[in-house]
């Protein structure tokens, strides 16, 4: 369990490397029930959308970012807010590398402990996606952000 | 300096911007309810070993039972690709496609996304969406083509009326550049 007292501004989230294959892209599209052709149809992607190949879809990237963060926090980490911007598509054959840095830590008026993390998803030298996330993590062993609701949950 | 295509699209769509900004679509509940099979497929696709999705004891202790990964949100709004009971053909993120049709910008990509999460989604939940056009930007050209950016906010609620999330999609819809 990652506790709030163990996190400081400037801490880094352990790097994650994901080799992206056609299966990664198609399974990502399937699991998000996204059948837009640019995520499974190579011919359509290249001739109609004008991209190099099929590419990771948006919800799947959100899923990878969540997985990256909760690998770090463990199950008590609860996503409050997530923002990301795609700079360029991510294609089969590329390796997607996740790096994150803690930008801010805070405890709100309800006592909820928040960690803000900036994340970059890179392919080689390119930043493919920029993201930021706000996660609630426990202040101590008795705290559980998942029990929060209503006015006690203000992401 | 604007290109001829920028000027043409700008002139053709200028009156549509105020007409469509602020328009909402109550898309109602999605076609599928949250269930474990979808959750496991999601965890499989993202190689997510979080015990909340694999160990019922941990899920019970931490979240009071199984939940779906918060990032799965859009799964619950997408219509089935085939549904004999569907009254009309509804596309995923229908408001976006209505805008594309109205502006005659045939291609589109998601350029950014922000989600604020509320109560967790649990197996058995049915999630309804309300989609609102919050912003339509000026005509621009990038490496993909010439078109307009726009932002659509989607509010997700469960069958109890609780907000499970609000998601903002930033899109760029365009006519491909001649190459």
Q: Is B73 on the interface with A (CB under 8 A)?
A: yes
Residue of A96 and B111 predicted with greater confidence? A96
Residues of B in contact with A155 (CB under 8 A): 116-117
Q: Distance from A31 to chain B by nearest Cα, in Å?
A: 5
Q: What pLDDT does residue B27 have?
A: 87
Per-residue pLDDT of A97-118, as tens digits, reads: 999 999 999 999 999 999 999 9
Q: Is B63 on the interface with A (CB under 8 A)?
A: yes
List the one residue out of A16, A102, A106 whose CA is nearest residue A63: A16
Find all residues with CB under 8 Å of A141, minimum gap 6, and list them.
A1, A3
Which of B46, B53, B163 should be substituted to probe chain A, the one whose Cβ sees the most A Cβ atoms within 10 Å? B46
b/e for A27-39, b at 16 or more Cβ within 10 A? bbbbbbbbebebb
Q: What pLDDT does residue B1 have?
A: 54
Per-residue pLDDT of B112-154, as tens digits, reads: 889 999 999 999 999 999 999 999 999 999 988 999 999 999 9
Q: What pLDDT does residue B110 have?
A: 85
Q: Torsions phi, psi of B144, nearest 5?
A: -85, -35
Distances (CA, A) of B57 to A36, A70, B64: 37, 18, 9
Q: Give this complex's ipTM.
A: 0.97
- Taking only residues 137 to 156 of chain B, the set having a beta carbon closer than 8 angstroms to any beta carbon of chain A reads 144-145
Of A33, A67, A82, the CB nearest to B46: A67
Q: Give the 3-state secondary structure of residue B80.
A: coil
Which of A29, A40, A62 should be substituted to probe chain B, the one whose Cβ sees the most B Cβ atoms within 10 Å? A62
What are the structural domain ranges in chain A? 4-152
Q: Distance from A39 to chain B by nearest Cα, in Å?
A: 12
Residues of A in contact with B73 (CB under 8 A): 59
Domains: count for chain B = 1
Does the beta-carbon distance from B170 to A155 stay under 8 Å? no
Per-residue pLDDT of A124-152, as tens digits, reads: 999 999 999 999 999 999 999 999 999 99
Per-residue pLDDT of A58-87, as tens digits, reads: 999 999 999 999 999 999 999 999 998 989
Q: Is B40 on the interface with A (CB under 8 A)?
A: no
We report the CATH number of the domain holding residue B17 as 3.10.129.10
Distances (CA, A) of A134 to A114, A118, A151, B3, B33: 7, 9, 17, 41, 27
Q: What is the rounded CA–CA span in Å between residue A85 and residue A59?
A: 12
- Mean pLDDT score of chain A, rounded to an integer? 97
Instruction: Give the distance from CA B154 to its chain's centroid.
Output: 7
Q: Distance from B144 to chain A by nearest Cα, in Å?
A: 7
Q: What pLDDT does residue A49 have?
A: 85
Task: For domain A4-152, give the fold.
Answer: Thiol Ester Dehydrase; Chain A (3.10.129)
Residuewise pLDDT in 10s, chain B (179 residues) = 578 999 999 999 999 999 999 999 998 899 999 999 999 999 999 999 999 999 999 999 999 999 999 999 989 988 899 999 887 767 778 899 999 999 999 999 888 889 999 999 999 999 999 999 999 999 999 988 999 999 999 999 999 999 999 999 999 999 987 65
Per-residue pLDDT of A5-59, as tens digits, reads: 999 999 999 999 999 999 999 999 999 999 999 999 999 999 988 899 999 999 9
Residue B166 CA neighbour count, 13 Å, CB half: 9
Q: What pLDDT does residue B89 have?
A: 67
Q: What pLDDT does residue B3 have?
A: 87
Find all residues with CB under 8 Å of A51, minimum gap 6, and list them.
A38, A45, A89, A91
Residue span of the structural domain in which B127 resides: 4-176
In chain B, the residue whose alpha carbon lies closest to the alpha carbon of A55 is: B109
């Amino acid at each position: 369990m990652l506790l709030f007292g163990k996190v400081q501004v400037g801490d880094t989230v352990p790097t994650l490397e994901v080799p992206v294959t056609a299966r990664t892209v198609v399974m990502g599209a399937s699991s998000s029930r996204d059948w837009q052709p640019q995520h499974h149809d190579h011919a359509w992607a290249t001739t109609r959308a004008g991209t190099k190949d099929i590419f990771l879809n948006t919800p799947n990237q959100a899923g990878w970012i969540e997985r990256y963060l909760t690998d770090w926090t463990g199950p008590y980490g609860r996503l409050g807010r997530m923002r990301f911007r795609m700079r360029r598509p991510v294609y089969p054959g590329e390796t997607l590398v996740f790096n994150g840095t803690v930008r801010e830590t805070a405890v709100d008026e309800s006592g909820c402990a928040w960690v803000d993390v900036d994340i970059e998803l890179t392919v080689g030298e390119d930043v493919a996606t920029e993201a930021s996330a706000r996660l609630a993590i426990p202040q101590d062993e008795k705290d559980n952000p998942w029990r929060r609701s209503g006015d006690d949950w203000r992401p | 300096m604007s290109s001829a295509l920028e000027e043409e699209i700008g002139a053709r769509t200028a009156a549509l911007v105020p007409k469509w900004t602020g328009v909402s679509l109550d898309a109602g509940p999605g076609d599928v309810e949250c269930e474990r099979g979808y959750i496991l497929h999601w965890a499989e696709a993202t190689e997510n070993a979080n015990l909340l999705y694999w160990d019922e004891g941990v899920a019970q202790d931490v979240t009071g039972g199984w939940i779906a990964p918060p990032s799965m949100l859009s799964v619950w709004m997408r219509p089935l690709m085939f549904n004999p009971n569907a009254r009309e053909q509804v596309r995923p993120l229908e408001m976006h496609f209505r805008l594309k049709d109205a502006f005659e910008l045939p291609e589109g990509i998601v350029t950014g996304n922000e989600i604020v999460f509320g109560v967790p989604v649990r197996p058995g939940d049915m999630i309804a969406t309300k989609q609102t056009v919050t912003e339509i930007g000026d005509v621009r050209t990038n490496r993909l083509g010439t078109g307009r950016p726009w932002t659509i906010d989607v509010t997700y609620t469960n069958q109890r009326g609780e907000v499970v999330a609000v998601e903002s999609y930033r899109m760029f819809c365009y006519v491909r550049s001649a190459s």
